[in-house]
C-alpha cells in the first residue's frame, strides 16, 4: 500500500488524509529529539563512525546526564544541541572540564549512524574500569551473569539492578558485552550507579561468594523449587544465564540452589532481563523482611 491510487482508496477519504498527515510529520522532531522509531540503514547508507581508540560513545539524555554526574568518568568531549544542553541543565558549556561542541541533530547522526536514539546529546569517554571481586562492598544483593552477551539485555538488567538496590553486577571477562552506547542507552543511566565486577572463572567466583556469606541462586525454568521458597539468609546473589542455553553445567553444579519463577501460563520462560527484574523484586522483599 505505498500509493493510494494503486489501492483504489479515494483521494480525499479519511484514510488518505491520515496518510498525507503522517508523511508531513514523519521524522519531525524538536531540536535534539529523535523519532521513536528510526529507519533501518539501507545498502550504501551512512554507518556509524568508529570511536577514537580507548573511547566509547554514550548518548541519550539519561545516559549522558548520569555520566556527567559520575566523578569516575573521564570524558574527552561532548556534542550536544542547544535544546539538549538546556534539558541537561547546562547553562554555560564552557564551565565543563572538557570541550563541548554545539551541533545540530544531523551532526550526531553522521557520527552514530541512523539507528542511535541520541536525543541531541553524545559524549566520548573512557569506559569504566571493572573492579575485582575482592572489591565487593558490603551489599546484600548482587547479580551474576553467566555469559549473557546481548547488550540490550545486559543494559536492561543493569537498570533493574539499580532500581532494586543491587550493589554489583558480576560478569566474566570473556563472553560478556563491552561497554557500548547501546548497552548504556538500554541501562538508562544505571551503568553509573552499580559496581561492575569482572571475573575470569565464574565457578571460582561463586565459591568466593559462598565464603562471603552469599546464597547463590541460579534461575532455571526447570528448577526444583519456586524462587520465593529458596531464599535463605541475608545475602543473595541471583545468577542468570543466556537465553536459549541458560546456565552452564558447571555453574548449575556450583550455585547454592536452582530455582524457577512460578509461571502458571502457557509460556514457561521469560526474556532474561524480565526474569532478572522479577527475581530482584522477590529478593528485595525477602531482604526487607529480615532475610529469614
Res 35: pLDDT: 44
- Please state, for a pLDDT cut of 90, what percent of the chain lies above it: 72
Question: Is the per-residue pLDDT at 85 higher than 80?
Answer: yes
Task: Count CB-CB contacts under 10 A for residue 186.
Answer: 23
The C-alpha cell that represents 102 in the structure block:
554545539
Quick one: pLDDT band at residue 104, thresholds 50, 70, 90?
A: very high
The C-alpha cell that represents 156 in the structure block:
536492561
In angstroms, the CA 169 to CA 177 distance is 13
Res 149: pLDDT: 93
> Which one is the CATH code of 133-288: 3.40.980.10, 3.30.200.20, 3.40.1280.10, 3.40.50.300?
3.40.1280.10
Res 5: pLDDT: 38
Res 37: pLDDT: 47
> b/e for 69-107, b at 16 or more Cβ within 10 A?
ebeebebeebbbbebbbebbebeebeeeeeebeebebee
Question: Is the per-residue pLDDT at 58 higher than 80?
Answer: yes
Res 248: pLDDT: 95
Quick one: pLDDT band at residue 268, thresholds 50, 70, 90?
A: confident
In angstroms, the CA 71 to CA 288 distance is 30
What does the pLDDT average to over 190-198? 96
- Domain 56-125 and domain 133-288, same fold? Reply is no
In angstroms, the CA 80 to CA 98 distance is 13
Question: Is the per-residue pLDDT at 255 higher than 90?
Answer: yes
The domains of the chain are located at 56-125, 133-288
Question: Is the per-residue pLDDT at 261 higher than 90?
Answer: yes
Q: What is the pTM of this model?
A: 0.81
Quick one: pLDDT band at residue 292, thresholds 50, 70, 90?
A: low
The C-alpha cell that represents 110 in the structure block:
553522521
User: Which CATH code is given to the segment(s) 56-125?
Assistant: 3.30.1330
Give a three-class secondary structure readout of 156-223. HHHHHHHHCCCCEEEEECCCCCCCCHHHHHHHCCHHHCCEEEEECCHHHHHHHHHHCCCEEEEECCCC
Q: Are strands 75-80 and 121-125 parallel, antiparallel or unpaired?
A: antiparallel
Question: Is the per-residue pLDDT at 197 higher than 50?
Answer: yes
Res 17: pLDDT: 47
Question: Is the per-residue pLDDT at 148 higher than 50?
Answer: yes
User: E strand or H helix at 124, and its extent?
Assistant: strand 121-125
Average confidence score pLDDT of the chain: 86
Res 263: pLDDT: 87
Res 266: pLDDT: 86
Res 221: pLDDT: 87
What does the pLDDT average to over 257-275? 90
Contacts of 71 (CB under 8 A, 6+ apart): none
Question: Is the per-residue pLDDT at 21 higher than 60?
Answer: no
Question: Is the per-residue pLDDT at 10 higher than 50?
Answer: no
Res 108: pLDDT: 95
Note the helical H segments in the chain: 4-7, 14-25, 61-68, 82-87, 105-112, 151-163, 181-187, 202-211, 227-230, 249-254, 272-288
Amino acid at each position: 500500500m505505498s500509493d493510494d491510487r494503486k489501492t483504489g482508496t479515494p483521494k480525499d477519504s479519511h484514510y488518505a488524509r491520515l496518510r498525507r498527515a503522517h508523511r508531513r510529520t514523519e521524522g519531525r522532531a524538536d531540536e535534539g529529539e529523535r523519532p521513536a522509531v528510526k529507519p533501518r540503514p539501507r545498502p550504501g547508507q551512512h554507518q556509524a563512525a568508529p570511536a577514537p581508540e580507548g573511547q566509547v560513545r554514550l548518548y541519550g539524555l539519561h545516559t549522558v546526564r548520569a555520566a556527567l554526574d559520575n566523578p569516575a568518568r573521564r570524558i574527552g568531549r561532548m556534542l550536544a544541541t542547544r535544546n539538549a544542553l538546556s534539558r541537561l541543565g547546562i547553562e554555560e558549556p564552557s564551565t565543563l572540564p572538557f570541550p563541548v561542541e554545539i551541533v545540530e541533530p544531523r551532526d550526531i547522526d553522521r557520527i552514530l549512524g541512523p539507528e542511535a536514539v541520541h536525543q541531541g546529546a553524545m559524549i566520548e569517554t573512557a569506559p569504566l574500569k571493572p573492579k575485582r571481586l575482592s572489591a565487593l562492598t558490603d551489599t546484600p544483593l548482587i547479580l551474576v551473569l553467566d555469559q549473557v552477551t546481548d547488550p540490550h539485555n545486559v543494559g536492561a538488567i543493569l537498570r533493574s539492578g539499580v532500581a532494586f538496590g543491587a550493589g554489583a553486577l558480576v560478569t566474566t571477562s570473556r563472553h560478556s558485552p563491552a561497554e557500548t552506547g547501546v548497552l548504556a542507552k538500554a541501562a538508562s543511566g544505571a551503568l553509573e550507579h552499580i559496581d561492575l565486577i569482572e571475573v575470569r572463572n565464574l565457578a571460582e567466583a561463586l565459591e568466593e561468594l559462598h565464603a562471603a556469606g552469599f546464597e547463590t541462586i541460579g534461575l532455571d525454568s526447570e528448577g526444583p523449587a519456586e524462587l520465593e521458597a529458596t531464599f535463605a539468609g541475608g545475602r543473595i546473589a541471583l545468577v542468570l544465564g543466556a537465553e536459549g542455553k541458560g546456565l552452564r553445567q558447571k555453574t548449575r553444579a556450583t550455585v547454592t540452589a536452582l530455582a524457577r519463577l512460578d509461571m502458571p501460563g502457557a509460556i514457561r520462560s521469560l526474556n532474561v532481563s524480565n526474569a532478572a527484574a522479577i527475581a530482584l523484586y522477590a529478593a528485595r522483599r525477602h531482604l526487607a523482611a529480615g532475610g529469614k
